[in-house]
Amino acid sequence: MIFDASSLYVVLKKKELERLRDSETLDLAFYEVGNAMLNDLRRKIITESFTKGAEELNGISQLIRVEYFSRLMPAMSRR
Protein backbone atom coordinates (compact mmCIF):
# COMPACT_ATOMS: atom_id res chain seq x y z
CA MET A 1 0.00 0.00 0.00
CA ILE A 2 1.19 3.53 -0.73
CA PHE A 3 0.60 6.17 1.94
CA ASP A 4 0.37 9.85 1.12
CA ALA A 5 0.94 12.51 3.78
CA SER A 6 -2.69 12.79 4.86
CA SER A 7 -3.15 9.05 5.35
CA LEU A 8 0.22 8.84 7.10
CA TYR A 9 -0.90 11.58 9.50
CA VAL A 10 -4.18 9.81 10.25
CA VAL A 11 -2.30 6.59 11.09
CA LEU A 12 0.04 8.57 13.34
CA LYS A 13 -2.83 10.31 15.17
CA LYS A 14 -4.62 7.00 15.69
CA LYS A 15 -1.36 5.39 16.86
CA GLU A 16 -1.86 2.54 14.40
CA LEU A 17 1.72 2.50 13.15
CA GLU A 18 1.67 -1.25 12.52
CA ARG A 19 -0.60 -0.53 9.53
CA LEU A 20 2.46 0.97 7.82
CA ARG A 21 4.37 -2.30 7.70
CA ASP A 22 5.28 -3.39 4.16
CA SER A 23 4.01 -0.11 2.69
CA GLU A 24 5.70 2.85 1.07
CA THR A 25 5.61 6.64 0.93
CA LEU A 26 7.63 9.56 -0.42
CA ASP A 27 10.19 11.32 1.73
CA LEU A 28 8.26 14.56 1.17
CA ALA A 29 5.34 13.11 3.13
CA PHE A 30 7.31 13.52 6.36
CA TYR A 31 7.68 17.26 5.74
CA GLU A 32 3.98 17.52 4.94
CA VAL A 33 3.04 15.64 8.11
CA GLY A 34 5.24 18.00 10.13
CA ASN A 35 3.53 20.98 8.54
CA ALA A 36 0.08 19.53 9.26
CA MET A 37 1.11 18.97 12.88
CA LEU A 38 2.22 22.60 13.21
CA ASN A 39 -1.06 23.81 11.75
CA ASP A 40 -3.11 21.55 14.02
CA LEU A 41 -1.08 22.65 17.03
CA ARG A 42 -1.70 26.32 16.20
CA ARG A 43 -5.42 25.66 15.79
CA LYS A 44 -5.40 23.69 19.07
CA ILE A 45 -6.62 20.54 17.33
CA ILE A 46 -3.72 18.61 18.83
CA THR A 47 -1.74 19.24 21.98
CA GLU A 48 1.95 19.75 22.49
CA SER A 49 2.12 16.36 24.18
CA PHE A 50 1.00 14.81 20.89
CA THR A 51 3.83 16.51 19.03
CA LYS A 52 6.32 15.18 21.56
CA GLY A 53 4.83 11.73 21.19
CA ALA A 54 5.02 12.07 17.44
CA GLU A 55 8.77 11.74 17.65
CA GLU A 56 7.82 8.23 16.61
CA LEU A 57 7.74 9.77 13.17
CA ASN A 58 11.49 9.23 13.03
CA GLY A 59 11.04 5.52 13.60
CA ILE A 60 8.38 5.13 10.95
CA SER A 61 11.01 4.56 8.28
CA GLN A 62 11.70 1.23 10.00
CA LEU A 63 8.16 0.12 9.12
CA ILE A 64 7.62 1.77 5.75
CA ARG A 65 9.76 1.94 2.64
CA VAL A 66 10.63 5.53 1.79
CA GLU A 67 11.08 6.57 -1.83
CA TYR A 68 13.10 9.72 -2.38
CA PHE A 69 11.49 12.24 -4.67
CA SER A 70 14.86 13.51 -5.90
CA ARG A 71 15.71 10.02 -7.16
CA LEU A 72 12.40 9.70 -8.99
CA MET A 73 12.67 12.99 -10.88
CA PRO A 74 15.66 12.09 -13.10
CA ALA A 75 13.87 8.92 -14.17
CA MET A 76 10.77 10.92 -15.07
CA SER A 77 12.69 13.52 -17.09
CA ARG A 78 14.17 10.81 -19.39
CA ARG A 79 10.74 9.98 -20.78
Residue 74's pLDDT is what? 66
Helix 28-42 / helix 5-14 crossing angle, nearest 10 deg: 60
How far apart (Å, rounded) are the C-alpha atoms in residues 45 and 77?
A: 40
Express each pLDDT in 5-47 by its tens digit.
Answer: 999 999 988 889 899 999 999 999 988 998 998 899 899 988 8
> Do residues 66 and 25 lie in contact, with contact meaning Cβ atoms separated by under 8 Å?
yes
- Say what the pLDDT of residue 29 is: 93
Q: How far is CA 57 from the centre of its chain?
A: 7
What pLDDT is recorded for position 46?
83
* Domain extent listing, the chain: 5-77
The beta strands (E) that lie in 1-79 are given as 23-26, 64-67
For 44-67, what is each residue's pLDDT tens digit?
Answer: 988 877 776 667 777 787 889 999
